[in-house]
Amino acid sequence: MRILSGIQPSGRLHVGNYFGMMEPAIRMQQQGEAFYFIADYHALTTVRDGGELRQYVRDVALDFLACGLDPQRAVFFRQSDVPEVTELAWILSTVTPMGLLERCHSYKDKTARGLAASHGLFAYPVLMAADILLYDSDAVPVGRDQKQHLEVTRDLAIKFNEHYGEGLLKLPEPVIQETTAVVPGLDGQKMSKSYDNTLPLFAEPGALKKLIMRRIATDSTPVEAPKPVEGSVILQLFRLFAGADDYQRMEDEFRAGGVGYGDFKKRLLAACVEFFEPMQRRRRELEADPGAVEDVLRAGAERARAEAARVLDRVRRAVGLGLA
């Protein structure tokens, strides 16, 4: 089984990215042949400073490796090191109905937030389809917000195959883990770097403390009264970091009353710090050897490119590019 996923280097990664996409992807590297990449072509739609983009790419590489991506098992690479993907994106764009892209939420959301309505932003799902189809991917672990892009990918593969020949492009399946499909942010909306409501991965404990103690909104239920369980951001986040017993104890205490939100938040902070501590340590080690990280990405690109060449060759022949 070929597993593939990508993540944009468009800012610091956060706890939503970790539980929604990275953790499932890391777990799945045991189950098949995994291809994971840093989607720097995609990030160009929002990051307009070369130095900044390069820094984000480095950070994502370090974060992903520190969290457990194992380059012995998974092929880990930079999207732009396999420029073949842009050729497949162009070919796919010629079978992409405008209406299909016009229906995509992410374009509408991003332009509504004030991002310039560029062609790149509009055509983003076609490049993502190319990412997936270029490697004959079977399974794509992502958070729920990417589900529509997987549907577009399947639609384009079906259209392409109907026109040029059955079986040319493989239809991928999304893998969305329902328990962590949408991790809430500090304000209770979906955690997202666009909403300024994130818990960053690898924040200093001091910074995490400020975010948790000051930014998670709570109601004015008195200490001794029972607290609402439904919709509690503290509980939802605690569940991600704590063992089942600790979680159950906190939920029971919410229902019983007698413990204040400040205490619950302190427990959440401690669980979060403890959870990420080994990864923090690993990240510091990796940071000390930037050459080794670059070597991993370079070796990954080589393997990815060989695979990409096979699929692209099949596609070029089918559509009539080059000699038969």
Q: What are phi and psi of 193, to 5 degrees?
A: -65, -20
CB 106 → ligand TRP: shortest distance, Å?
8
SS3 103: coil
Please name which of 84, 13, 2, 83 lies closest in space to residue 36, comparing C-alpha atoms: 2
- 8 binding ligand TRP? (CB under 6 A): yes
Lay out the site mask for ligand TRP across 98-137 (x = CB under 6 A, - = otherwise): ------------------------------x--xx-----
Which of 108, 147, 170, 193 does the annotation list as catalytic? Answer: 193
- 42 binding ligand TRP? (CB under 6 A): yes
**Among residues 111, 118, 148, 194, which is the contact residue for ligand ADP, using CB under 6 A?**
194
- 5 binding ligand TRP? (CB under 6 A): yes
**Among residues 47, 57, 75, 142, which is the contact residue for ligand TRP, using CB under 6 A?**
142
Q: What are phi and psi of 146, to 5 degrees?
A: -100, 0
Residue 74's Cβ-count burial label (10 Å; 0-12, 13-18, 19+) is buried
Question: Do 233 and 188 contact (CB within 8 A), yes or no?
Answer: yes
Token pair belonging to 248? 């159950």
Helices 50-66 & 261-287, crossing angle to 10 degrees?
Answer: 100
Which of 190, 209, 210, 227 does the annotation list as catalytic? Answer: 190
Which of 110, 147, 227, 266 does the annotation list as catalytic? Answer: 110
Question: Do 42 and 124 contact (CB within 8 A), yes or no?
Answer: yes
Q: Interface with ligand ADP by CB under 6 A: which range of 68-76, 143-151, 234-242, 255-263? A: 143-151
- Residue 175 identity (one-letter amino acid): V
Q: Interface with ligand ADP by CB under 6 A: which range of 107-115, 122-130, 185-193, 285-293? A: 185-193
Q: Between 69 and 242, whose beta carbon lies closer to ligand TRP?
A: 69
Cα 154 versus chain centre, distance:
19
Which residues, 6 or more positions from 89, have their beta carbon under 8 angstroms from its beta carbon?
Answer: 123, 126, 127, 129, 130
**Among residues 34, 104, 139, 191, which is the contact residue for ligand ADP, using CB under 6 A?**
191
Q: Between 154 and 227, whose beta carbon lies closer to ligand ADP?
A: 154
- Which residues contribute to the site for ligand TRP (CB under 6 A)? 4-8, 39, 42, 128, 131-132, 140, 142, 146, 149
Catalytic residue IDs: 110, 190, 193
